[in-house]
Structure 1
């Protein structure tokens, strides 16, 4: 007998709370059915990500069979960029991207020493180039909110170019 008054009291409380606007309008007072529960906000998400190299010195070129070199000078600086953000949000996008990609990017990176690298253009290549710079992660980002009906809406979006720490040299046909 004790069980019946508790169920009735709980059902009446939900009806009363709905009537005065405290409980969600979607609350169902039938036994075993509760209010609509949405997943938590997704917050930031990232897509279209890929890596590329950013030149920080003019490239060096040469024909097949020649040895070319490039010098990466001390003090050359580059910065990560975050577009589409509101004031103060760029560093938050940066931090969220670090967590998403599980890598420590540099907001700003400066080459700490002069470095020279040489490369012989292979005979199989008509013309080759040598580059010096940094590796960059490009990604699109969104900031999302979950609406009361559990749909997701994009609030802000943009692009980020995040600099990996460290000096890079690479070669190829362009």
Structure 2
């Protein structure tokens, strides 16, 4: 998908920009966040200043760039990212995402948001600059018929947060989710 220059607003000093992927009618969905995200297209990308992403079926990317105009937003995930998801979570489909890349001769990843469906499972991945004291962590939360597996890995100064949720009978093991969080392909820029 190509994003026209008019689709992304400039970052204003002192503010955060959120690039939002919305339905083709231009309005966010009121469906629960567990529903599948909309199909991306060049005509449904908008950007707007905001303090936090909205909780709808939108894919929101917070642009927190160290220098004004030093970053760009891309809603094209590198094929390596999709390959990592499909290798670790067999059957991953409906993969959507966006990245904030620091401009330069060799762009670097600043942050990334990814959502995917694997059968009845929901997968959410957030990659962002790691805090100085950020350490790998993992947790499994069982709630009867549903389970949530959360893993945070740290690589190259970035924290990779992976949350997999769904029916307890279909949830992958902690080691599988941990391997996904540590997979270097999630950090690919091209």
Q: TM-score range by the shorter chain?
A: under 0.3
TM-score (norm 1): 0.19
Structure with the greater relative contact order (CA < 8 A, sep ≥ 6): 1 or 2?
Answer: 1
More strand by share: 1
TM-score (norm 2): 0.18
Higher CA-based Rg: 1
